[in-house]
C-alpha cells in the first residue's frame, strides 16, 4: 500500500470516527441511544447522501477498496464489542428473581423463537437469501431476529437514565444475558449450516457439533481453566500487563476458533465471558481500559461501517421492512407481556418489561452483520434487521424516559409498604 492509498484510508477512518462521535453525542443529548447516531454517520457518508456527490463518491469508494485496512478495523471493532459484551454478561449475571427470570426466558424468549421457526417456511422468500443462504440458516436467522434482546444498548439506556441499580434493570438484564447466550448459540448454528452448494450432511454435522462443543465448553469448563491461569504464579503477563493479557486471551480464542472454522464473533464473546474474574480488581481496571479505547474508536467505526454498508437506494424493501418490524414487535411484546403476567406482574409492569426487552440494539445489529458477512441474508434483509434494531432501541429509550418523567413506577412493589421504582428515588450515578 502506497503512502497516498494509506492516507485515503486514514482520512476515511477520521471521517467515520469523528462523525460517529459527533452524531452519537447529539443523539445522547436528544435522549436517544448513541448507537443510532454512530450508524447514521455511516449512512451520511454512504451512497444515500454524501456518497452521491461525484468527488466524495470517488474518494470513499477508492478508500474502501484500498487493501483490507477498513475491513480489519471493522472486524476488530466487532470482536472488541463482543469481547466486552461477554465480560459484561459475566459481571451482570445474578441469581435473584429466579421465578420471574425463568418465566420471561421460557415464554418471553422461547415463544417468539418457536413461532419464528414454525412460520419461517411460509415467510422465507428468495429476496431474503444471500449467496450462501439456505432454508435452515434463514429460518434460524429469522427466529433469532424475532427473539433477540440487547444487553449493551439496554444497559447503556439504564445507565443514561440512572436506573441501572433498580430491580427493574436487574431483572431485564438478567433475562437479556441468559437469552443472548442461547441465541448466540443459535446464530452459531446458522453460520455453521450456511453454504453455497447443497448441504453435505457429514460436513455439516461435523461443523455443527464442533461449533456447539466450542460454545458449551466456552461457557463451562474453559472459563474455570482460564481463571486458574489468571491466578497462576507463572502467569507474569496477567500481573504486569493485565490489558495485554486480556487481549491475548481474546486473540487466543479467535485463533482456536479460526483453526476449527468457527465464527470468530462467538469466540470473542466467550473470551470476554472467561477472562473476567470478579475477585480481582486488576482485571476490572484492564477491561475498563480496553472499553475506553474500544468505545472511543473501534466500536464507533464498526457501527459507522454498518451504516456505510446500508444500501438505502437499491437495498431497501419498504414492504419487507414494515411487515418484519410490525410482526416481530407484536410477537415479542405479546410474548413478554404474557410471560410477565405468568410471573406475577400486572398493568404498567407488563408494558415496561415488554417494550424494554423488545430493544434489539447491538445484538440485533451484530446478528445482521454476521448473517450478511456469511452470505446468509440479502442486502434488503440486512437493512431490515439493522433498521429494526435501531427503531426498537429508540422506542425503548423514549418510553422509559417518558415513564420516569411522569413519575410512574417501573415495577410495582413486591410487598405492601415497599417503595416503587420511580424517578424521585433514583440517585445520581458516580
Domains of the chain with CATH codes: 71-412 (1.20.1530.20)
Residue 255: the pLDDT is 93
Q: Where are the alpha helices (DSSP H) in 32-160?
A: 34-45, 54-64, 69-92, 98-103, 110-123, 135-147, 151-160
Annotate 337-375 with b (16+ C-beta within 10 A) or e (fewer).
Answer: bbbbebbebeeebbbbbbbbbbbbbbbbbbbbbbbbbbb
Give CA angle at 105 (101, 108), nearest 5°: 115
pLDDT at 288: 86
Taking the C-alpha atoms of residue 400 and residue 381, their distance in angstroms, rounded to an integer, is: 29
Each residue's pLDDT tens digit, 95-120:
556 778 888 888 888 888 898 888 88
Report the pLDDT value the prediction gives residue 43, as an integer from 0 to 100.
81
Distance of alpha carbon 403 from alpha carbon 168, whole angstroms: 13
Q: What is the DSSP letter of 424?
A: G
If residue 105 lies in a helix (H) or strand (E), which one and from where to where? none
Cβ–Cβ under 8 Å, residues 111 and 335: yes
Query: What pLDDT was estimated at residue 150?
Result: 67
Give the whole-angstrom CA distance, residue 186 versus residue 325. 21
> Which are the contacts of 281, defined by CB distance < 8 A and separation ≥ 6?
none
Closest CA to 306 of 35, 113, 103, 69: 35
Q: Work out the number of other CB atoms within 10 angstroms of the CB of residue 22.
A: 13
Q: How far is CA 302 from CA 36, 81, 286, 307, in A?
A: 12, 9, 22, 9
183 within 8 A of 110, measured Cβ to Cβ:
no
Residues of the chain with pLDDT under 70: 1, 47-48, 51-67, 88-97, 150-153, 155-156, 159, 164-165, 177, 180-181, 184, 194-204, 207-208, 277-282, 311-315, 362, 413-430
List the one residue out of 369, 356, 376, 300 whose CA is nearest residue 151.
Answer: 356
Is 413 in contact with 155 (CB distance < 8 Å)?
Answer: no
Closest CA to 377 of 312, 421, 320: 320
* pTM (2 d.p.): 0.73
Amino acid at each position: 500500500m502506497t503512502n497516498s492509498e494509506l492516507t485515503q484510508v486514514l482520512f476515511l477512518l477520521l471521517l467515520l470516527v469523528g462523525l460517529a462521535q459527533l452524531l452519537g453525542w447529539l443523539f445522547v443529548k436528544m435522549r436517544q441511544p448513541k448507537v443510532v447516531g454512530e450508524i447514521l454517520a455511516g449512512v451520511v457518508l454512504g451512497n444515500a447522501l454524501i456518497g452521491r456527490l461525484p468527488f466524495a463518491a470517488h474518494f470513499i469508494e477508492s478508500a474502501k477498496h484500498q487493501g483490507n485496512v477498513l475491513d480489519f478495523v471493522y472486524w476488530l471493532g466487532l470482536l472488541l464489542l463482543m469481547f466486552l459484551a461477554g465480560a459484561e454478561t459475566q459481571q451482570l449475571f445474578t441469581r435473584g428473581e429466579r421465578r420471574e427470570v425463568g418465566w420471561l426466558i421460557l415464554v418471553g424468549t422461547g415463544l417468539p423463537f418457536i413461532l419464528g421457526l414454525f412460520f419461517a417456511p411460509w415467510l422465507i422468500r428468495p429476496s431474503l437469501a444471500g449467496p450462501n443462504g439456505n432454508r435452515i440458516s434463514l429460518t434460524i436467522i429469522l427466529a433469532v431476529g424475532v427473539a433477540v434482546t440487547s444487553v449493551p444498548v439496554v444497559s447503556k439506556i439504564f445507565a443514561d437514565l440512572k436506573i441501572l441499580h433498580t430491580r427493574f434493570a436487574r431483572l431485564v438484564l438478567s433475562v437479556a444475558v441468559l437469552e443472548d447466550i442461547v441465541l448466540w448459540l443459535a446464530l452459531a448454528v446458522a453460520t455453521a449450516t450456511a453454504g453455497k452448494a447443497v448441504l453435505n450432511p457429514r460436513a455439516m454435522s461435523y461443523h455443527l457439533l464442533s461449533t456447539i462443543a466450542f460454545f458449551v465448553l466456552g461457557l463451562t469448563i474453559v472459563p474455570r481453566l482460564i481463571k486458574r491461569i489468571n491466578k497462576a504464579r507463572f502467569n507474569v503477563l496477567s500481573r504486569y500487563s493485565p490489558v495485554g493479557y486480556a487481549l491475548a486471551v481474546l486473540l487466543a480464542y479467535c485463533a482456536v476458533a479460526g483453526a476449527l472454522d468457527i465464527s470468530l464473533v462467538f469466540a470473542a464473546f466467550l473470551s470476554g465471558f472467561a477472562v473476567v474474574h470478579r475477585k480481582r480488581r486488576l482485571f476490572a481496571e484492564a477491561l475498563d481500559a480496553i472499553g475506553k479505547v474500544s468505545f472511543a474508536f473501534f466500536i464507533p467505526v464498526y457501527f459507522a461501517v454498518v451504516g456505510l454498508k446500508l444500501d438505502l437506494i437499491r437495498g431497501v424493501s419498504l414492504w419487507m421492512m414494515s411487515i418484519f418490524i410490525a410482526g416481530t414487535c407484536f410477537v415479542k411484546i405479546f410474548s413478554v407481556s404474557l410471560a410477565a403476567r405468568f410471573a406475577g406482574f400486572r398493568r404498567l409492569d407488563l408494558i415496561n418489561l415488554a417494550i424494554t426487552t423488545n430493544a434489539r440494539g447491538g445484538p440485533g445489529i451484530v446478528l445482521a452483520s454476521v448473517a450478511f458477512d456469511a452470505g446468509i441474508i440479502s442486502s434488503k434483509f440486512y437493512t431490515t434487521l439493522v433498521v429494526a434494531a435501531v427503531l426498537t432501541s429508540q422506542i425503548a429509550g423514549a418510553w422509559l424516559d417518558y415513564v420516569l418523567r411522569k413519575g410512574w413506577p417501573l415495577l410495582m412493589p413486591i410487598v405492601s409498604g415497599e417503595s416503587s421504582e420511580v424517578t424521585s428515588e433514583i440517585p445520581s450515578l458516580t
